[in-house]
């Protein structure tokens, strides 16, 4: 099975958090809490750098260039990561925090979740 073969390369681990609203019993106000939806999932993170000139045209020699980064997370296809979730990925002693964006690409043996740097809960 291709999915099982791919998962051998998933050496990263991640936790997925969602933000939930509730009522503070003390004062009756709405409060938001962070809840761990999944913990210590095997995964693999992929980075792709992209470079574009300021005008949007690629490879123009010495023109000013802006750099971007596309980040994908590879997970088992049965994991459901809601849009806007906070995803904490651990790799080689480093911890990186992202948010899920877009619609995941789900395949037979894995899914690819697009992510961007987590700034704050929206």
Per the structure block, which two tokens stand in for 83? 């849009």
pLDDT at 62: 55
Say yes or no to pLDDT of 42 above 90: yes
How large a percentage of the chain has pLDDT more than 70? 82
Say yes or no to pLDDT of 48 above 80: yes
How large a percentage of the chain has pLDDT more than 90? 55
**Burial (CB count <10 Å: 0-12, 13-18, 19+), residue 87:** buried
Q: Which among 119, 87, 91 has a CA at the least distance from the CA of 100?
A: 87
pLDDT at 115: 93
DSSP state of 102: S
CB–CB of 41/29 below 8 Å? Answer: no
Q: Which among 1, 85, 83, 2 has a CA at the least distance from the CA of 41?
A: 85
CB–CB of 45/89 below 8 Å? Answer: yes
Cα 28 to chain centroid distance, Å, stands at 34
Using DSSP, state whether 2 is helix, strand or coil. helix
The mean of the pLDDT values for the chain is 85
For domain 2-117, give the CATH number: 2.40.10
Task: State the average pLDDT over residues 106-112.
Answer: 92
């Amino acid at each position: 099975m291709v999915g099982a073969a791919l998962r051998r390369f998933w050496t990263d681990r991640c936790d997925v958090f969602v933000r939930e609203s509730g009522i503070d019993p003390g004062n009756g106000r709405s409060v938001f809490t962070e809840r761990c939806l999944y913990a210590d999932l095997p995964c693999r993170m992929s980075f792709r750098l992209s470079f574009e000139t300021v005008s949007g045209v690629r490879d123009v020699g010495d023109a000013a260039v802006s750099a971007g980064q596309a980040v994908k997370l590879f997970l088992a296809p049965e994991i459901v990561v809601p849009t806007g979730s906070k995803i904490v990925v651990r790799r080689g002693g480093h911890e990186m925090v992202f948010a899920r964006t877009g619609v995941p690409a789900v395949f037979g043996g894995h899914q690819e979740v697009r992510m961007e740097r987590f700034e704050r809960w929206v």
